[in-house]
Structure 1
């Protein structure tokens, strides 16, 4: 049961890089690899972890959360996962910096929609120095950087112990 996408990859034509029964990619007869349904399941699980995880973080620190933050947390973690896979040779500090800017971009986009357009007033950074529209500020970009460092360190330990799950 394979779906989602196919990619021409001549390097895999002779089965290089396959990891036995734990391989996530299989070769077709014509040398193309196909991404299996478990990739979609992995994406759903990562999104769900971000959804629940960010909700828990907000409840612990603010005492409440909003449904828009749950969706944003899921989208952020999934994006960070794919960035980590794509830039696997980049240092952890650079990946955390990129992640902080990605989360800040999500925060601005969601803030403009839920706070400025729909007036849900989920957060307001107007009191923070150098805020932009009350939706983002350098302090929280720095906090996202620290969170990304923590997530990258945890994922590195997790992948090292479960090599068959590595991207």
Structure 2
């Protein structure tokens, strides 16, 4: 009986972690868009939450031991890929016109571009750091120790 209870607690803790990280990531990304553009879309909330979960997942997978530049690169590739996929769905398939990078340099079908990929790399850095510390503060997981190189 006690063993199944502890499994249930672990399961609930994991669900709680995913929901908290998703909500924090979604709120941050949605808020940044509203702050700088004046509006956003629910798809950006969903995407921000998914990205925050990825930041955590990749950090845990390597026990936060990969050098920070490697984590940033991994996460930036993920974020830009998800931005492209989300853009194809919401902008091209559903014609919601949430964003259009067509006038930006080095863009692909107006859905991603190099200048915003660089901005996303900065946001990834903040997300990686925040996700590790959130797990420590809220869930008493070990304090992450980030390596620069």
TM-score, with structure 2 as normaliser: 0.82
- Unpaired runs of 5+ residues, structure 2, are 145-149
**Inter-partner Cα distance in structure 1 for 2:42 and 2:133:** 30
**Inter-partner Cα distance in structure 2 for 1:164 and 1:76:** 22
Which residue of the partner structure matches residue 83 of structure 1?
Answer: 58
| 1:103 paired residue among 56, 70, 79 | 79
- Rg larger in structure: 1
| 2:102 paired residue among 121, 126, 137 | 126
Compute the displacement of 1:57 (Å). 0.7
Q: Structure 2 matches for 1:54-73, cutoff 5 A?
A: 54-73=29-48
- Unpaired runs of 5+ residues, structure 1, are 4-23, 25-34
Q: More helix per residue: 1 or 2?
A: 2
Query: Does the 8 Å CA contact 1:47/1:74 hold for their aligned counterparts?
Result: yes
**Inter-partner Cα distance in structure 1 for 2:65 and 2:23:** 26
1:138 aligns with 2:114: yes
Query: Does the 8 Å CA contact 1:99/1:144 hold for their aligned counterparts?
Result: no
Q: What do you get for the CA RMSD once the two structures are aligned? A: 2.2
